[in-house]
């Protein structure tokens, strides 16, 4: 059985000035204009990697299927957003600050000219570690400055789901 979305229980913006909470405001005057999320600056301002640390509390029983990180975002720009996803499952009573994050590798979201203001989605299978019921998934999203070419700020909201 697939699941509904699971949202972060904690979200910390590590790299001040490069990433933080923000609202994307679309150009149209009708419909849904605003989307809240993590906003990363444009490539010209991304002087270093921008990190966000988050946690997800796993339910007591995991749904069947494959666990995935879902990033849904919006931008008015074009180019590539490079996101390195690293994570580990940590049991209650363990110290997450000494845990070794395991990498899913660089994920690339390519934004073309016709994508302005549209919802964009990047799905990543979480298989670098084992998702475990009743544990805490500790995750870092790193917006990688090298090869990041998105020319406008990018606002993205993370969630997890099983498919």
List the CATH number of the domain containing 46. Answer: 2.60.120.200
Specify if 14 maps to a domain: yes
Residue 148 falls inside a structural domain: yes
What is the DSSP annotation of 22-61? EEEE-S-SSS--EEEEEEE--GGG--S-EEEEEEEE--SS
Structural contact between residues 131 and 61, judged by C-beta atoms closer than 8 angstroms:
no
Q: Is residue 1 part of a domain?
A: no
Report pLDDT for 5: 92
Quick: pLDDT tens for 53-90.
999 999 999 999 999 999 999 999 999 999 999 999 99
Q: Give the torsion through C-alpha atoms of 149, 151, 156, 158, to 10 deg.
A: 0
Identify the pLDDT of residue 2: 63
> What is the chain's mean pLDDT, rounded?
94
51 pLDDT more than 70: yes
CA distances from 133 to 36, 53, 118, 120 (A): 29, 20, 34, 29
Q: Could you tell me the pTM of the whole model?
A: 0.94
CA-based R_g, the chain, Å = 16
How many CB atoms within 10 Å of residue 72? 17
Instruction: For 122-158, write each residue's pLDDT tens digit.
Output: 999 999 999 999 999 999 999 999 999 999 999 999 9
Domain containing residue 115: 10-162
The structural domain count of the chain equals 1
In terms of Cα–Cα distance, which of 153, 163, 162 is closest to 37? 153
- Is residue 3 one of the residues assigned to a domain? no
In a domain, 5, yes or no: no
Please list, in sequence order, all residues whose beta carbon lies within 8 angstroms of the beta carbon of residue 30, skipping any fewer than 6 positions away: none
Position 146 in a domain? yes
Which structure tokens are listed for 4? 């509904």
């Amino acid at each position: 059985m697939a699941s509904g979305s699971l949202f972060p229980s904690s979200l910390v913006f590590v790299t001040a000035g490069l990433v933080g909470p923000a609202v994307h405001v679309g150009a149209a005057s009708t419909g849904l204009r605003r989307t809240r999320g993590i906003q990363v600056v444009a490539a010209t301002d991304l002087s270093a990697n921008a990190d966000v640390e988050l946690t997800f509390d796993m339910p007591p029983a995991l749904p069947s299927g494959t666990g995935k990180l879902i990033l849904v975002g919006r931008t008015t720009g074009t180019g590539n957003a490079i996101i390195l996803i690293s994570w580990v499952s940590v049991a209650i009573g363990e110290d997450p600050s000494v845990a070794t994050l395991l990498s899913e590798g660089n994920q690339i979201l390519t934004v073309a000219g016709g994508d302005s203001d549209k919802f964009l989605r990047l799905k990543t299978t979480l298989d670098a570690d084992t998702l475990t019921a009743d544990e805490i998934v500790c995750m870092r999203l790193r917006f990688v400055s090298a090869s990041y070419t998105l020319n406008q700020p990018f606002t993205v909201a993370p969630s997890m789901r099983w498919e």
